[in-house]
């Protein structure tokens, strides 16, 4: 098989390599800091991939990133929280899947750009300790959102943060919730007719480099002082989001 057969439509060899490298570093970011990598990867992919492919392809890559953490931390998962989250997520995936296919590409890119700005600069959500039913509602909202913006990790983290669970339980439960959420999203897009096959080569490469990034993340990212890193990250995300919004506006003129 020619190496060109591994390339999705409109993806050059250089872009293929760039996205694989970006997956390495964004996975390392998540491994070192808990959150942020999914949003960063989404911002980069939104700048170079067709809008119709952005959310489903990003979802498969994020699924690969979260499965490893979920397996490693499985003994710490608080399953009494996962169950209502899954029930809510089923509802959110169904409703979101029916809606997202009707959105024009320019609107989807605009939503992603605004979401990246919000996730980068807005104060972290501080939700109260939700009861199981309300946690299920949070799962529905989070999964509905991820059908449009791809990276709902900050919202799910806000749902879990007030819970009286220790750090290991939070990491494990978060990984399982995100794994299930991305899995449902992929299923929804598959049922709605999205063709994943042309993207398998890119997805496999990005999942593989993402796993390597997870292993190497702490060593790579702790070379910078955390305050410096966070400031640089915020401005990088701002530039990427601004580019998305400006290019979308320009295309409408």
Task: Please say if the pLDDT value at position 21 is more than 90.
Answer: yes
Q: Is the CB of residue 19 less than 8 Å from the CB of residue 210? A: no
**What are phi and psi for residue 23, nearest 5 degrees?**
-60, -40
| pLDDT tens readout for residues 67-102 | 877 787 788 888 888 888 889 989 888 887 777 666
pLDDT at 1: 42
Q: What percent of the chain has pLDDT over 70?
A: 74
Task: Identify the band that residue 37 occupies on the pLDDT scale cut at 50, 70 and 90.
Answer: confident
What is the C-alpha separation between 42 and 38, in angstroms, rounded? 6
Helix axes 37-48, 51-72, angle to 10 degrees: 160
- Of these ranges, 67-71, 137-141, 229-233, the one predicted with the greatest mean pLDDT is 137-141
Q: Is the CB of residue 143 less than 8 Å from the CB of residue 181? A: yes
Lowest mean pLDDT among 26-40, 84-98, 212-226: 212-226
What is the C-alpha separation between 66 and 177, in angstroms, rounded? 9
| pLDDT tens readout for residues 159-183 | 776 666 776 677 778 888 888 888 9
Lowest mean pLDDT among 39-48, 103-112, 240-249: 103-112
- Of these ranges, 6-15, 89-98, 202-211, 227-236, the one predicted with the greatest mean pLDDT is 202-211
């Amino acid at each position: 098989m020619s190496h060109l057969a591994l390339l999705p439509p409109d993806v050059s060899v250089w872009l293929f390599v760039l996205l694989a490298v970006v997956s390495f570093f964004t996975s390392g970011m998540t491994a070192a800091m808990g959150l942020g990598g999914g949003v960063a990867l989404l911002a980069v992919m939104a700048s170079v991939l067709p809008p119709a492919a952005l959310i489903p392809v990003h979802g498969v890559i994020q699924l690969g990133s979260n499965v490893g953490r979920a397996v490693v931390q499985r003994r710490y998962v608080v399953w009494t929280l996962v169950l209502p989250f899954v029930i809510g997520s089923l509802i959110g995936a169904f409703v979101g899947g029916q809606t997202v296919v009707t959105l024009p590409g320019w609107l989807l890119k605009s939503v992603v750009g605004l979401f990246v700005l919000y996730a980068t600069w807005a104060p972290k959500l501080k939700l109260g300790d939700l009861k199981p039913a309300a946690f299920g509602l949070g799962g529905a909202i989070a999964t509905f959102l991820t059908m449009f913006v791809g990276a709902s990790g900050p919202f799910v983290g806000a749902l879990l943060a007030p819970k009286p669970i220790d750090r290991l339980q939070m990491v494990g439960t978060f990984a399982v919730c995100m794994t299930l959420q991305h899995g449902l999203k992929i299923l929804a897009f598959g049922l709605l007719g999205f063709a994943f096959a042309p993207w398998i080569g890119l997805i496999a490469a990005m999942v593989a480099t993402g796993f390597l990034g997870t292993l190497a993340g702490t060593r790579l990212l702790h070379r910078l002082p955390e305050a410096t890193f966070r400031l640089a990250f915020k401005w990088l995300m701002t530039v990427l989001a601004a580019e998305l919004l400006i290019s979308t506006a320009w295309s409408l003129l």
